[in-house]
A and B are shown apart, each in its own frame.
Chain A
Amino acid sequence: MDPMAEIRLTFFQECEEQLTALENGLLGMQEGSADSELVNAVFRAVHSIKGGAGAFKLNTLVSFAHVFETALDKVRSGSIVPDADAMKLFLRAADALSDLVSASRDGAVLDTAPYAAIEEEFDALLGGAGGAAEDDDFQSLDFQPVTTAFSGEDAAPEATTAPARSSFLIRFRPLRELFAKANDPLALFRELTRLGRLQAQCDIKNLPFLDTMEPEDSYLSWELRLESDCDIAAVKEVFDFVDGDCDLSIEVGLPAQPAVMAAAPEASGPPPRIVQDGQADVAVPPPSVAPLPAPAEAEAAAQPKASARTAVQPTIRVDLDRVDRLINLVGELVINQAMLTQRVLHSSHVRDREVTSSLEELERLTREIQESVMAIRAQPVRPLFQRMSRIVREVADATGKDVRLRTEGEATEVDKTVVELLADPLTHMIRNAVDHGLETPEQRIAAGKAPEGTVRLAAAHRSGRVIIEVSDDGAGINRPRVLQKAIANGLVPPDSQLNDSEIDNLLFLPGFSTAQSISNISGRGVGMDVVKRSIQALGGRISIASSPGQGSTFTLSLPLTLAVLDGIVVTVDEQTFVIPLTAIVETVKHEQSRIHHVGEHSFVLRVRDVLVPLIDVGAELGVRPPANQVRSGVAILIETANGSRSALLVDNIQDQRQVVIKSLETNYKRVDGIAAATILGDGRVAMILDVDALVGLRHHDWSSTEIPFAKAS
């Protein structure tokens, strides 16, 4: 790849990150967090995109980002109050910026109309906030030059009559890192002059002689006195970009009192010392304005960001192929380790205690390596959730509903593939929640609810799985309508007596959503069969809870990773199979008295007064012919994805263990009733049962068309 293309690629990758930070920040602001740090983060994101885009001459992007940035700068300086309407505009602008970035990346031809419209709205917003909008573009920095005096000379005093509210004593010593990052103190001072009147004094006493001077080191420090009517936060903001790369202390003091340079800039505690000084006074302050701050306050001010900002962990970008290769290799290692252990323990010669304990240690280490490697692929669901907030905005706009998306547990980590494959079903569910779940504002008011509907998206880890909930506070599922619809579509017989949860589950039937009138139903059902299928393809389950007038909750339960699975190892006719633990409810005592013969090759098992079909796994898979006599063995009670229960009859249970999922489809093809393959400790392949399909095979109902686990290598 040519170097320019590579840099370009990096730029767009970084744009993605900036856009995420932007949306994050805006959503935070919308939630009412008035934290100036948040506004800064938003501003920085747009600013960085603009800067990078400029380097690549992406002019449309630059000009749009510029307008956006200007507006954000006004928020930053407090001249625009970000009310609800402004926030909506900002969010739309963020979406537009994201589109622009994608278009620029793909070299797509742009339709500039929507961007121009947003730019106009910005103009209106800015105009409303007082037309004295300063342009802070790179080329037109508007500042009063300041003499950065080297000999105690100060800037020429201006004959201003407006008394400054307070004065700040800023001790600033850049570290060499600051220069290494191409920052310039002068630019910072210029920025300060925009806040008020600035006096700068440079301390050169650390400057060594030329022969010992390290040209890339930093020797200078400054004492700056700023008179301004802005607050300390605004002053701190100026140093935002160099945070951590300089020694900085900011003290709020009596205005324009002559202060001497402190010998040590890191002296953060005491209030400003008032000493005489040869400099000319600038403006005589009214004596009563600013009281001396308490030392503690000054100290807090001296370390502006240290506590407020969470430390950013260093990261590296790694090719996904490398990670996957590592995961595959570790999978091999796990199998090999298990084989080694089994062989050593089974060989009669070695019964050495030390060998055994070494093997155990090896097993522990292998497990740990596997977990750590899996963790590399784990990603927080945050970006996924953020995409959903855009979906909510779009659908809300299209349907004229007032919707707020609340997200919880964005830091929950899931396998990257799961996150990726979750995007489509989740989009579908969110769309449904807004479109069908929530009522219109008028209906909500009539029902005595707040006009603004809420969609909640939450993620959490629960017993080794990820639970994702999509809920709304809408009207809930209209069960009579759903049942009526299902009967009309011939999905259930007209005289069916279904309980609530059975009716809710009708939504997952394919064919339920084919009717065009669905959008009139206040329940749901648009493509929910597709959603269910994709969730199951991920080895997950979906369930519904709904109460009339209060809304509905869809709960997804997903595996943390697609690479391993917990299962029990069973024997059927001398063959070994694995049953996924997630499907298993319990193992049931298998007594003749509990089994009833209900037809040819058909048996039911009584489990606590409930009759469930007893499925002979061997016969079902064609391993052995079906029998009219119940075989001996163990019954395992399982629950399928649609909540129905069955008992699987196997010969015996060997073990419970974690197995690495191997695709059978890569080199063979899909097999009904088999989800995937795995390799056991003896190095042999075993089949992982697809319990839903096994049950489905018997009933030949719609669930037999399920796709089992996604391909895993």
Chain B
Amino acid sequence: MQDIFQLAYWIPLLPLLGSLLNGLGRRYMSRSMAGWIGSLSVLGSFVLSVLVFLHVKSGHSEVIHYFDFIKVGTLTIPFSFQLDALSSLFLLIITGVGFLIHVYSTAYMHEEDPDQFARYFSYLNLFVFSMLLLVLGSNYVILFIGWEGVGLCSYLLIGYWFKNPAYTAAANKAFIMNRIGDLAFLVALFWIITKSGVVGFQDFFSFVQQHQFTERFTATDITVITLLFFIGATGKSAQLPLYTWLPDAMAGPTPVSALIHAATMVTAGIYLIARSNFLYSLAPHTLHLISWVGLLTALLAASIALAQNDIKKVLAYSTVSQLGFMFLALGTGAYAAAVFHVMTHAFFKALLFLGSGSVIHAMGGEQDIRKMGGLSTKLRITYFTFLIGCIAIAGIPPFSGFFSKDAILLSVFLHSPLQYGLALFAALLTAFYMFRLLFLTFAGQFRGTEEQKHHLHESPWAMTLPLLVLAVLSVIGGWVGIPEVLLPNAEPLIQFLSPVIPVVPHAVSHETEYILMATSTVLVLLMVLAAWWRYRHYQPGVSTSPFTRLLENKWYVDEIYDKLIVQPLSWMAAWLRSVAEAKVIDGFVNGVGRAVQYSARQLRFVQSGQVGLYVLLMVLSMAVMLFIQFFIRK
């Protein structure tokens, strides 16, 4: 078993090879071949990840050095992987959920031409490779390589159907908004290099430990770096103010939304901060800001999700909101709880997205839930698993979401009662909009066309099997983090993560914990009832209030950004191009040129025209040469 770490490089390498095979050989691939290559390469990584995880679980961790990527002066950036509790947990999530989604895709994308099908799997494998690189890297530079790689794959997959201009616009928006965060990430990285001269996590943390709050590493440095990393995280993990790309990213195929824009890539920001928890614990102001940004994002996105009618858009805003919960946890110092929620969220949100894909598949591409309804009888497996996903995300015990959300709420409660109240409110909104979605889609009467009704069918096994597996995980996935009050000596996840994330014992009585759990559970159940009451016999065409319209239009945030930032920039660019460049700078240059030409015309002894002037200049330069020859010699 000792040698399993030596094979770790195969974990990202297998998907990379799969990507290259599918990408370069796409013209010669059949669909099944491309699907097999794509899925098996991720399955291989998953098996290795399980072995690595078990090895880490038995108490091992290691940094494996492959080669020096960049060496300049005293700065060395090694290409090396860090295998420890945090990375191995993410490995399991990425490859496990990733494999299921690859399998699902083989059926979901079956109408694509074979070469496009292979292109799809090539991108999807490339994404898995980049994401694995992100979590495996033992320093911030390798992490950044993965960070940019997943951004690239996200861009490629959102714009996968490149004929549709709206989709490619969404792809560009995603990449560019991410780049804003990336700039902050990079500046933080340069700051670290300038101050400490190292980039490795371990090296940097020991540097900080040694020099914290001294001349070499002041409190300002800590605040600046943590803030900048957080801004980077708001881009990748879709938080205020950089979240608007994620709902648009639903333009990509649904399995992509499940894998990239719900389960894995968008949690990279949480990974970054959890990885740097040592640094963040020294920056109380940054943490305070993170908790508020996370909380406000959770509330804002949940409110928008209440009024969306596109099945994927509801889930997208739900993802933004859940990510907000994770940042709230980070902000209150509950790093392990955030990671816990990353895991359970990966299960139930991937399940919900894949379930929505199954619905869209059955409805012939329809995504508007107002035109659905009554699907529970026709799509039994989809319905059943979707229901489990809803229960899990709403936070009803003993489903997985309950435990992770409970851990977050407890930490927030200890941190600030006001924030707890707001967070609980956001959690209740979650329950409401998720069950609204469930009832609108599956309950009541079918509201689509006759043709759609005729075609309704359950999806093939390649799609339902991943749903079932994820449903099981959504039920039991939370049991690895059952709090101590319910099961003494439990919380193995927190114990497992303790080498990376130190355990902070919290002084809270069991009674308080029981009360908190009971309150949230009862209130959530009430919200489910309310949703059932309101939407069980939904009929479209109910008049909407101004507030609902405000929510439907997403608080007009996109429009505000467009008016305040995009358009002024665009005007400025046009002005620079047509006035500053053409008239001012070039005008000046040409003016000087004309003046010279004018005087040259006065002086001309040779023919008119350009060649003449050229000769004149030659003569001039020769004269200068002669001048050197004769005069300087003396």
A, B: real partners: no
Chain B residues close to A by CB (< 8 Å): none
